[in-house]
């Protein structure tokens, strides 16, 4: 059911004073990189943070805790603020157009930053992530086209491999990601109807721009899916820490547990929570010491990778350079990494389905052929693409 967001509470929260878990995640790399990599001025850390998309929250944390910040990063902060203003203006223009066809839920951006950290400026924004009713995708894309937003490439949704469609503005280059699921189709997730209904209010621009976000229990699932989608990344860990600071004491944790059991995704949740515990020693009340071995293993790898990159600041080795080569990643490594990351799914049969799905039905030629074959024999209809999993 819909529940009002306590905007007064959100707007009066102070960062970092009211964000102890988030502060600990940040302090670990600030002090760690200074001690282990000699980055006393934090210049290398800020440079890496800029590349990885968490410069705003790190920049404000350093200033709030009395650290000196190299002057050139103030320019990066001002560029970030200007980008936020641009996307806020575009969101004000886009929301009424989409709402004429479908409810809209903000998944990231300023709304998420305000909810997690009490400050709309602390998350990097490079697009508008909007959850919509997939049955209205065609009319929405057509309406957005009238104000200059167009799909890239062939414009096909590829719902067997993705959960979103990207549009770009022909003049200013702003991006919109239209989502119809909060997870890639390889994993089970709450249906779109529940997600669009179970929302809370979030007020942007000082209350002048009202919007909706997922309620806390579903929001945590979204954050853990995002962490999983990026194979356990630092920015995603900050989001999970922010949720713990903001919502863990008031959210219905039993419902979160019930949702993860229903959709067989407790391993997805535990990956993020175990990574947080390994990185900071903080155990969420949802932390399960008996989580599946795959979730624990991925969490250990994630925590070690974050330490390597942001504390020891080690140069990438040959394997890492190969892994990050976009030509290789798109063709081979990306598919393999996606498949291996699906091992955190719960249940043997569900895990097997999830692991095979990126290989057999990924965003590649084999996936397109298999999709066409299954659709041709009537394995599912086009109107059911968004809520049925091919191997489920």
CATH of the domain at 241: 3.30.460.40
Tokens of 119: 């400050």
Question: What's residue 8's pLDDT?
Answer: 40
Reported confidence tier of residue 27, pLDDT bands at 50, 70, 90: very high
Q: How far is CA 87 from CA 90, 110, 299, in A?
A: 5, 9, 33
Going by C-alpha positions, the residue among 279, 231, 284 that lies closest to residue 27 is 279
Q: How far is CA 218 from CA 6, 39, 133, 241, in A?
A: 17, 38, 17, 15
- Residue 389 within a domain: no
- Residue 237 within a domain: yes
Question: What's residue 348's pLDDT?
Answer: 86
The parent domain of residue 333 ranges over 7-384
- Residue 272 within a domain: yes
Q: CA angle, 346 as apex, 343 and 350 as ends, to 5°?
A: 80
Question: What's residue 1's pLDDT?
Answer: 43
More confident site: 62 or 359: 62
- Residue 390 within a domain: no
Residue 202 in this model has a pLDDT that exceeds 60: yes
Question: What's residue 373's pLDDT?
Answer: 54
Question: What's residue 352's pLDDT?
Answer: 81
Residue 184 in this model has a pLDDT that exceeds 90: no
Reported confidence tier of residue 6, pLDDT bands at 50, 70, 90: very low
Please answer whether residues 266 and 346 qualify as being in contact, where contact means their C-beta atoms are separated by less than 8 angstroms: yes
- Residue 392 within a domain: no
Please give the average per-residue pLDDT across 220-227, as a whole number. Answer: 99
Residue 3 in this model has a pLDDT that exceeds 60: no
> pLDDT tens digits, residue range 250-278?
999 999 999 999 999 999 999 999 999 99
- Residue 391 within a domain: no
Residue 390 in this model has a pLDDT that exceeds 80: no
Output Rg (C-alpha) for the chain, integer angstroms: 21
- Residue 360 within a domain: yes
- Residue 1 within a domain: no
> What residues contact residue 51 under an 8 Å CB cut-off, 6+ apart?
none
How many domains are contained in the chain? 1
Please give the average per-residue pLDDT across 294-323, as a whole number. Answer: 89
Task: Pinpoint the alpha helices (H) of 37-117.
Answer: 43-52, 55-64, 72-99, 109-117
Question: What's residue 326's pLDDT?
Answer: 59
Sequence-ordered strand ranges (E) for 73-206: 105-106, 128-131, 149-151, 164-169, 175-179, 199-204
Question: What's residue 381's pLDDT?
Answer: 43
Residue 9 in this model has a pLDDT that exceeds 70: no
């Amino acid at each position: 059911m819909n529940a009002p967001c306590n905007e007064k509470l959100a707007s009066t929260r102070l960062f970092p004073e009211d964000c102890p878990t988030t502060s600990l995640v940040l302090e670990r790399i600030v002090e760690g990189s200074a001690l282990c990599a000699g980055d006393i001025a934090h210049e290398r850390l800020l440079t890496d943070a800029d590349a990885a998309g968490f410069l705003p929250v790190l920049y404000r944390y350093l200033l709030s805790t009395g650290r000196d910040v190299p002057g050139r990063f103030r320019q990066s902060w001002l560029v970030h603020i200007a980008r936020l203003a641009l996307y806020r203006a575009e969101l004000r223009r886009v929301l009424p157009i989409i709402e004429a066809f479908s409810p809209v839920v903000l998944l990231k951006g300023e709304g998420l930053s305000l909810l997690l950290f009490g400050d709309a400026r602390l998350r990097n924004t490079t697009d508008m992530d909007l959850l919509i009713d997939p049955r209205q995708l065609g009319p929405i894309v057509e309406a957005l086209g009238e104000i200059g937003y167009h799909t890239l490439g062939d414009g096909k949704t590829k719902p067997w491999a993705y959960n979103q469609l990207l549009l770009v503005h022909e003049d200013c280059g702003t991006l919109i990601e239209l989502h119809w699921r909060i997870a890639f189709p390889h994993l089970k997730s709450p249906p779109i109807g529940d997600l669009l209904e179970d929302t809370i209010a979030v007020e942007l621009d000082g209350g002048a721009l009202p919007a909706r976000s997922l309620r806390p229990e579903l929001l945590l699932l979204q954050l853990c899916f995002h962490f999983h989608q990026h194979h356990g990344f630092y920015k995603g860990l900050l989001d999970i820490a922010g949720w713990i600071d903001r919502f863990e004491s008031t959210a219905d944790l039993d419902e979160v547990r019930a949702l993860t059991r229903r959709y067989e995704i407790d391993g997805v949740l535990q990956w993020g929570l175990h990574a947080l515990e390994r990185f900071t020693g903080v155990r969420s009340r949802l932390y399960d010491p008996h989580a599946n071995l795959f979730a624990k293993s991925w969490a250990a790898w994630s925590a070690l990778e974050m330490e390597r990159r942001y504390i020891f600041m080690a140069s990438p080795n040959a394997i890492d350079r190969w892994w990050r080569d976009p030509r290789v990643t798109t063709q081979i490594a990306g598919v393999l990494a996606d498949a291996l990351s699906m091992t955190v799914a719960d249940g043997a049969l569900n895990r097997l389905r999830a692991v095979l799905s990126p290989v057999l039905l990924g965003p590649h030629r084999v996936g397109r052929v298999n999709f066409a074959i299954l659709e041709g024999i009537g394995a599912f209809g086009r109107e059911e693409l968004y809520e049925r999993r091919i191997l489920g």
